């Protein structure tokens, strides 16, 4: 099929969707293409054969695969396939090129998308995200920084493959299509928590878009009618949904079973005993169902390979049960106090009679409440980090003494209302039991106890006095 013979038929499609073929791209003019594998496992080869079938379905070109180099006398043009290297790339168009699949994920959905993308280049397609009329947001220079960090690639790689615009003269072009398989999935290329993603087009498709199929058939297989194309596309959507459902279930099952002597996986949204969890995916926790301290163990994983590597590399994941118990004791001690503050254990009361039924709080080293109410944290680590950010906890000794005097002055004011005040039993003849040192008196009427009650602390008495109508708060 000759390139120029398609010009008239394709010009009428300019107002449809997106597809980019550049004028200098050699287009296949044979009924079959032979691919020969330079290397690769049986599984890798079989996946390529299976995934590439989708392009055959719409081009009408037969793909032949072999591990024996084809003779130039038997094949006009062919492609080599290798799984070596550290990148995924392909020569563009019909030039006896090479498809390199050296950076395939452990995620089979991503592997399928990658194979389809590189075979698209082989058929002559350019990058959708690098077309000249792409959205302006794709030219944001911050994308490069985010790509470098997320992909562990050089700036030049990110510029060349993501940010740079292709200014080559276009033969076939229509409106931009973020769902094209020739568009990078930005959720995979840049940092997932990046604010950039809110500004950029949504690119979550994992297969050929309808536009990809429409124009590839116009280029190579014009015998497919519009009605037939739509029916084939609907079949593909159902097949892709079933494929992704099965793939995600298998990955989730494998990640759920990951474990070592002292580590295991925790699936969203289940929480560890100390309240940590992932918004999505899995996190690594101890075999005792508690999380590990440190930011690196707060990470959430959606990749089996990455999570497995982390478990294998981290020394915490290879402790015995007794060693893990000792580590827990050490971490508890490390997180027990910070400067002027300390951790208050679950169920323990501070001087103001407040406590956490579940979790931990922090108080001054004098056991006083900090602020207006008690904050509760699921883990000592979380409470410790809150202490580090707290103004009172960070005071030096002089500042803390001044702070305490101010608090005592405020407390003295709280111990007296219009008609009542809290007094210690040493100033009153009221007979209080041992360790109950405070009571409330009406100092305007013979200084008699108001409610015949004694309290273990002045704070209990203050709280009780607030509830007595005659005291006139």
* Whether the predicted pLDDT of 13 surpasses 50: no
Q: In Å, how far from its chain's centre is CA 397?
A: 42
For residues 85 and 103, is the Cβ–Cβ distance under 8 A? yes
Adjacent-strand bridge partners of 341? 338, 364
Chain-centroid distance of CA 97 in Å reads 37
The pLDDT, as a whole number, for residue 182 is 92
pLDDT at 161 (0 to 100) = 86
Q: What is the pLDDT of residue 357?
A: 85
pLDDT at 8: 33
Residue 12 has pLDDT above 70, yes or no: no
Judged on CB neighbours under 10 Å (0-12, 13-18, 19+), 355 is middle
Q: Does residue 413 have a pLDDT over 90?
A: no
131-161 tens-digit pLDDT: 888 888 888 888 888 888 888 788 898 888 8
Q: Is the pLDDT of residue 15 over 60?
A: no
Q: How far from 1 is each of 5, 26, 27, CA to CA, in Å?
A: 8, 12, 8
Confidence of residue 217 (pLDDT cuts 50, 70, 90): very high
Instruction: Tell me the pLDDT band of 253, cut-offs 50, 70 and 90.
Output: very high
- The pLDDT of 10-37, averaged and rounded, is 70
Q: What is the pLDDT of residue 363?
A: 93
Domains and CATH numbers, the chain: 4-243 (3.40.390.10), 263-331 (no CATH), 338-397 (no CATH), 416-471 (no CATH)
In this prediction, residue 19 carries a pLDDT of 66
Q: How big is the chain by its Cα radius of gyration, in Å? A: 35
The 10s digit of each residue's pLDDT in 254-290 is 999 999 999 999 998 898 988 888 888 999 999 999 9
Residue 11 predicted with pLDDT over 50: no
What is the pLDDT at residue 9?
A: 36
Give the pLDDT band (50/70/90) at residue 229: very high
């Amino acid at each position: 099929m000759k390139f120029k013979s398609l010009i008239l038929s394709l010009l009428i499609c300019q107002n449809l969707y997106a597809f980019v073929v550049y004028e200098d791209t050699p287009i296949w003019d044979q009924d079959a293409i032979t691919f020969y594998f330079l290397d690769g496992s049986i599984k890798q080869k079989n996946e390529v054969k299976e995934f590439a079938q989708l392009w055959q379905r719409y081009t009408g070109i037969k793909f032949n695969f072999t591990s024996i180099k084809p003779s130039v006398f038997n094949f006009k043009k062919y492609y080599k396939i290798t799984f070596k290297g550290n990148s995924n790339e392909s020569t563009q168009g019909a030039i006896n090129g090479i498809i390199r699949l050296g950076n395939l994920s452990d995620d089979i959905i991503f592997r399928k998308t990658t194979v389809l993308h590189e075979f698209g280049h082989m058929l002559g397609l350019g990058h959708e995200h690098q077309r000249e009329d792409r959205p302006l947001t794709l030219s944001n220079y911050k994308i490069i920084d985010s790509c470098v960090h997320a992909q562990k690639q050089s700036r030049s790689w990110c510029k060349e493959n993501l940010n740079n615009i292709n200014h080559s003269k276009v033969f076939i072009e229509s409106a931009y299509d973020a769902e094209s398989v020739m568009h990078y999935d930005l959720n995979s290329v840049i940092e997932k928590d990046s604010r950039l993603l809110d500004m950029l087009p949504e690119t979550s498709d994992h297969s050929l878009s309808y536009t990809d199929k429409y124009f590839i058939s116009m280029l190579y297989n014009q015998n497919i009618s519009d009605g037939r194309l739509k029916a084939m596309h609907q079949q593909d959507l159902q097949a892709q949904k079933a494929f992704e459902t099965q793939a995600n279930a298998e990955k989730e099952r494998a990640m759920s079973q990951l474990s070592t002597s002292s580590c295991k996986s925790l699936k969203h949204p289940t929480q560890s005993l100390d309240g940590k969890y992932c918004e999505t995916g899995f996190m690594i926790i101890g075999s005792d169902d508690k999380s590990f301290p440190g930011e690196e163990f707060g990470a959430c994983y959606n990749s089996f390979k990455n999570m497995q590597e982390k478990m294998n590399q981290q020394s915490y994941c290879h402790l015995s049960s007794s060693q893990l118990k000792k580590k827990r004791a050490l971490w508890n001690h490390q997180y027990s106090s910070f400067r002027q503050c300390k951790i208050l254990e679950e169920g323990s009361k501070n001087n103001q009679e407040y406590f956490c039924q579940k979790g931990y709080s922090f108080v001054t080293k004098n056991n006083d409440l900090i602020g207006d109410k008690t904050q509760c944290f699921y883990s000592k680590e979380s409470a410790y980090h809150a202490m580090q950010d707290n103004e009172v906890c960070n005071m030096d000794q002089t500042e803390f003494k001044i702070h305490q005097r101010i608090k005592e002055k405020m407390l003295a004011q709280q111990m007296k209302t219009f008609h009542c005040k809290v007094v210690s039993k040493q100033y009153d003849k009221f007979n209080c039991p041992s360790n109950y040192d405070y009571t409330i008196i009406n100092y305007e009427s013979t200084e008699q106890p108001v409610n015949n009650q004694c309290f273990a602390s002045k704070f209990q008495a203050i709280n009780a006095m607030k509830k007595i109508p005659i005291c006139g708060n």
